[in-house]
A and B are shown apart, each in its own frame.
Chain A
Amino acid sequence: MTEIHNSNWKLRKGQIIAAKQMTATEKWFDIKLDDGDLDHEPGQFVQVELYGVGEAPISVCSSPTKRGSFELTVRSAGRLTKHMHGMGKGDWLGIRGPFGKPFPVKLMTGNDLLFVAGGLGIAPLRSLINYVMDNRREFGKVDILLGCKTPTDMLFGDEIKDWQKRLDVNFSCTVDRTAPDWKGNVGLITSLIPGVTINPEKTFGVVVGPPIMYKFVIAELLKKNLPERQIILSLERHMKCGMGKCGHCQIDHPKNYYCCKDGPTFTYEEVKESKKL
């Protein structure tokens, strides 16, 4: 028997230091690692191991500018996430990562930014939005467009109120289905794009949402003459290993992309020929 000290399957140990139910299906966790900072970049993900249950890839929703702990927002969608919703402050879990190619923050410096988030897409995008907020003077105009199913599905409500108040950010949101006390926009997120002024030469559009959303949002951005390589997406796949080996997250032709290693962030130019985004 040999012990493999440098095994990439070994887990970092994280303790939940705060947790909050955000909506009926989403729960937020603040996690502190016992070996220091996660040391991630906006757009990366971690593998969360619930001992005895298994592992799942979850996007980090906090910015690396926040030190000491990192945050995850988890939708109860499968066996592991359902179990995780039963966990709270003081509970331990295993963490591998961070994994994946982050959003190209260096390339974005000096440019205008248009963030488009649909549903839970706000979670990975929040790691970048908060990074930009904390380094606000490095970037040009910032627009945030947010879409969700109903007003009660809206995540990070307190922060959204702050974005709405800030003068250095243009924020708008829309819901698919309204509620009695909702005074905002009703309709799909695509309906917000025509109202945004874009300088295509110096704007990055960052789009994160469910697969169905990409096709329509990208079409709107292309109408605004945004170049394909300035449209950045974060794709969802089942990354089981995070190391470009297990095969589950491989994206269909024409390229040999593993979502966990070559992504999850891609330019539209890189993945436009794929059947499903």
Chain B
Amino acid sequence: MNYHILMKGELDMFVKKLSKKMKVYAPVAKGFSNFAFEEVSSAGEIAMEYIPTILPPKKYFMPPREKMLDFDLTEGKPKDTANLDAEKLAVFAVHTCDLAGIQCLNMVFSERPRDYNYLLRKENIFIIGLECLKYCDGNASCALVGNHYPNGGYDLFFTDIGDKYVIHVNTQKGEELVEGMGLAKASSADMAALDRAREAKKHTFQNEIGVDPKKLPEIFAKGVESPVWKSVGDRCISCGNCTNVCPTCYCFDMADTVNLDMKTGFRTRTWDSCQVEPFATVAGGENFREERSARQRHRYFRKFKYSVDKFYRSFCTGCGRCTRTCMAKINLKETLTSLAAESK
């Protein structure tokens, strides 16, 4: 076990030294309780206490818009190349819910046929986690899915123990960084403080809906025809906010653009949303998920049922973003509670 210490007064030094090696992105306060991951170069810019950012760090792994292919039609026979411009960067102060989100995406994109754009970006990203000692707000459901504690997925992980952070070093890359900065090893007193912080969380964080998470896939299997979906569908306005802010939503669309020379162009991948009306429509007009209720049900099933069947884990990380962003006040915890109540 490898733990180091960073005094809170040294955080600025840490960020400055890190930003000399690579670009550093961290949560920045944007007003009205909104936060966003942005480039920083000093600790003063970072909101160490923040509620989940508007967009999760997914945007660095799978950008909202990404070029997948360049093509050239100058000669009769087309030519194409797949180029990637993936800069080396660090994301700092990533909450455990978002670390889990990245782990979910890692599984999806490393499954064959592999997505090398994602995988190469991932290799260039240094991840530093930050532990939550209390709830961000009432919308989170991280304890339900077991993401209130760290489950790996980072190079370094910070836990606030008062006047300093205990840093868990999880990778060789992380080790090299803390060694290079000359950070002291954690003492047994520091470790005891870490244990106390973790122990206290057992009381602070409680299963938010009081339903055994292991039973959720079964509850969903039974709830296919539940009136809950009609209720959710009646309120939904199909804006796609919930999927855009979700740390594990990765559906995308592809489109071609021709340059002004009319000879060259490129193909881009853009985030798409299963909530928008034409998502499952085929040429000829047949829409396989025409009703909003069917589309919302689909979103929930992708978080709590299909993903558990396929990847053995919930693709809901408990971050609460979908609830926070919903203009129609569709609340994930309420939906789950109603669905669970029905299957009793």
**Contact A9 B256, beta carbon cutoff 8 Å:** no
CB contacts (< 8 Å) of A80 on chain B: these are 283
Q: Tell yes or no: B31 within 8 A of A by CB.
A: no
> Which of B73-81, B205-213, B324-332 lies on the face that meets chain A?
B73-81
Bound-complex Cα distance A53 to B78 (A): 14
Q: Tell yes or no: B199 within 8 A of A by CB.
A: no
Given contacts A51-B73, A253-B305, contact A9 B283 (CB under 8 A): no
Closest residue of chain A to B273 (Cβ to Cβ) is: A247
Pick from A54, A241, A246: contact of B255, CB below 8 A. A54
Bound-complex Cα distance A54 to B266 (A): 10
Q: Which of A237-277 contact B (CB under 8 A)?
A: 237-238, 240-241, 243-256, 275-276
- How many residues does chain A have at the interface if contact means C-beta atoms less than 8 Å apart? 51
CB contacts (< 8 Å) of B283 on chain A: these are 56, 75, 77-78, 80-81, 238
Q: Tell yes or no: B71 within 8 A of A by CB.
A: yes
Interface size class of B (residues with CB under 8 A): 35 or more
Bound-complex Cα distance A75 to B298 (A): 30
CB contacts (< 8 Å) of B288 on chain A: these are 237, 251-252, 276
Closest residue of chain A to B298 (Cβ to Cβ) is: A252
CB contacts (< 8 Å) of A55 on chain B: these are 254, 256, 267
Q: Which of B61-119 contact A (CB under 8 A)?
A: 68-69, 71, 73, 76-78, 80-86, 108-109, 111, 113-117
**Contact A245 B252, beta carbon cutoff 8 Å:** yes
CB contacts (< 8 Å) of B250 on chain A: these are 245, 247
**Contact A92 B68, beta carbon cutoff 8 Å:** no
Interface string of A41-84 (1 = CB under 8 A from B): 00000000101111110000000000000000001011011000
**Contact B254 A8, beta carbon cutoff 8 Å:** no
Q: Tell yes or no: A18 within 8 A of B by CB.
A: no
Pick from B69, B274, B302: contact of A7, CB below 8 A. B69
**Contact A2 B68, beta carbon cutoff 8 Å:** no
Q: Tell yes or no: A89 within 8 A of B by CB.
A: no
B residues in contact (CB < 8 Å) with A: 68-69, 71, 73, 76-78, 80-86, 108-109, 111, 113-117, 120, 221, 224, 250-258, 265, 267, 272, 274, 279-284, 286, 288-289, 294, 297-298, 301-302, 305-307, 309-310
Question: Assuming A6-B116, A8-B115, what are 5 further A-B pairs, CB within 8 angstroms?
Answer: A9-B82, A11-B78, A55-B256, A240-B254, A252-B289
